[in-house]
Amino acid sequence: MCECTLSAQEQQAAELDMLRHSTAHLMAAAIQQLYPGTHFGVGPAIEDGFYYDVQLPGDHKLSTDDLETIEATMRQIAKQNLPLTRTEVTREEAAAQFVEQPFKEELIAELPEGETITTYTLGDFIDLCRGPHVNYTSKLKHFKLTKVAGAYWRADAEREQLQRIYGTAFKTADELTSYLTFIEEAEKRDHRKLGKELDLFSFNELAGPGLPLYHPKGTRTLRLLQDWLRKELIARDYVEVITPHIYKSDMWKMSGHYDHYKDDMFFFQVEEGKDAEGEARYNEYGVKPMNCPGHLMVYSANLHSYRELPMRIFEFGTVYRNEMSGVVHGLMRARGFTQDDAHILVRPDQVHDEVLKLLDLVDYVMSTFGFSYTAELSTRPEDSIGTDEMWELATSALRDALETRGIDYEINEGDGAFYGPKIDIKLRDAIGRIWQCSTIQFDGNMPGLFGAEYRTAENTSETPYMLHRAILGSMERFYGILLEHYNGALPTWLMPTQAMVIPISEDQNEAARGVATELAAAGLRVEVDEANERMNAKIARAQTQRIPYMLVLGKREAESGEVSVRHRAEGDLGAMPVAAVADKILAEHP
């Protein structure tokens, strides 16, 4: 891509950010007018829009009707064509201006000495802000407030809880309409809504935030996904292990997680007997947030020859991370989730070829679900460890593999892990959203921490390198992405129920059960709807449940040994023998 095109894109993005940031100020001016005494937090432009954190007087909780009122007031202010005026002020002047705004006072107190402090004025509203902004409010025409949510000040659960009002803004009415249509479609596909409608999973306050409870149908789909991937991995010479969910803190100190990741983990004390004086003796344990230490302990339990490498160790390992309750989001960001995790121990000369094989696996998985994807290569950060030679070998291996496979990628300079570079795969779903799922990370550090070695051809001991990799990533998150991508109508091979047999009357119930038995014997998941209802009602119910095949059975079909086949997307497919239906459904399995 040429520099001029990139510069134009950057300029457009900057202009859109300025427009949205200015609209956030417009919203704040409307809120101040409607709710005098409001305390304001911050109001930045973000991807797809903007927000402002506010603390309303009297702890007033905003409703959808309130958002409509705020939006109407914004339009009234915008029509006045007021200027957004920038003013440089001293620290003392800023403190005096915001004496009744405690959150702004806190921000002012933290500004570095000597930094230029600026405010922006819009009518009666003055904000502490670096800018830039549009010149006049008449340029703010195409905006919409979208939702309100809770947010802690400075993202600190110990601090004040504010209300975060989200909105979006665009340069043209067509762009705004297109975005709102996209949002409406995304809401229809929300996996939390689909999970409830299709009886797949639920959440319960007694379990805690971010800890899903899988119902029988949801469990069935997750197991099908795991079984499919397990079979593929074993065919690619992976070996499966099972490792503990908890480890003593000594292990987490050895791995470095205790020093660098402790706040994101769950720790607890266990009484393990008495000491010589009869006092209780305790050990601290931590619930695992990742699987790599366990896999390295499995590897290090035995001696290994260079001929055994690469060794590909995988596990569907459930991990737990102490995400703040305010940021958990259904299956997409959970406290407990299962990773399709693998760690591959390799010699230096094997890194490039192994990354190629991993990219082949990524392509197989993504193409199975019809996802297009690109990649991002993150390179050496400033606070890295390891030799220049190691970093050059690893980075070149990852870059060359991407180029050999012809995968479009961008360089994310300096954003690799401290122990090695990485590739992140970003897929695009049916409505154009980008999701980061697969990751391939080079690690030249952790194997040595756990004493991982192999004997070389010269009979010396060497420490292998390790590739961390996840293809689906969090299986819960990937499940949520699939539900939204397919709008609940998962591929036939992943559906909990693949076919519903629908007898037209009670007289055909026994024959319908016979059809279900025959299909089940062929390895299919089948149910019979024996409800005493009209056929059309049964078909409608099956359609709502996204069941791929509806097999209607009347007197004529029962006598002929056939069923009338209806597909959830294609409609009526005509009459078929039961064996032919089984073959048709099985043909859709990967």
Q: Which residues are catalytic?
A: 292, 321, 339, 341, 343, 422, 468
| DSSP-assigned letter for residue 111 | S
Buried b (16+ CB within 10 A) or exposed e, 47-71: eebbbbbbbbeeeeebeeebbeebe
Beta bridge partners of 144: 168
Separation between Cα atoms, residue 129 and residue 86, nearest integer Å: 9
Q: Which residues of 72-92 are buried (b: 16+ CB within 10 A; e: fewer)?
A: ebbeebbeeebebeeeebeee
- Using CA atoms, how far apart are residues 58 and 499, in angstroms rounded to an integer? 55
Residues 6+ apart with CB under 8 A from 452: 296, 299, 300, 345, 463, 464, 466
Task: Give every CB contact of residue 68 below 8 A, 6+ residues apart in sequence.
Answer: 145
Closest CA to 16 of 52, 46, 53: 46
At residue 381, the 3 state secondary structure works out as: coil
Pairing of strands 372-378, 39-40: unpaired
d(Cα 322, Cα 268) in Å, to the nearest integer?
Answer: 13
- CA dist., res. 365 & res. 471, Å (int): 8
Closest by CA to 587, choosing from 492, 499, 515, 482, is 492
Q: Which two tokens stand for residue 164?
A: 């975060």
Alpha carbon distance 102, 273 (integer Å): 51
- Give the orientation angle of helix 578-586 with respect to helix 509-521, to 10 degrees: 40
Can you list the alpha helix ranges (DSSP code H) found in 162-291?
173-188, 191-197, 216-235, 249-255, 257-260
DSSP letter string, 521-578:
HTT--EEE---SS-HHHHHHHHHHTT-SEEEEE-HHHHHHTEEEEEETTTEEEEEEEH
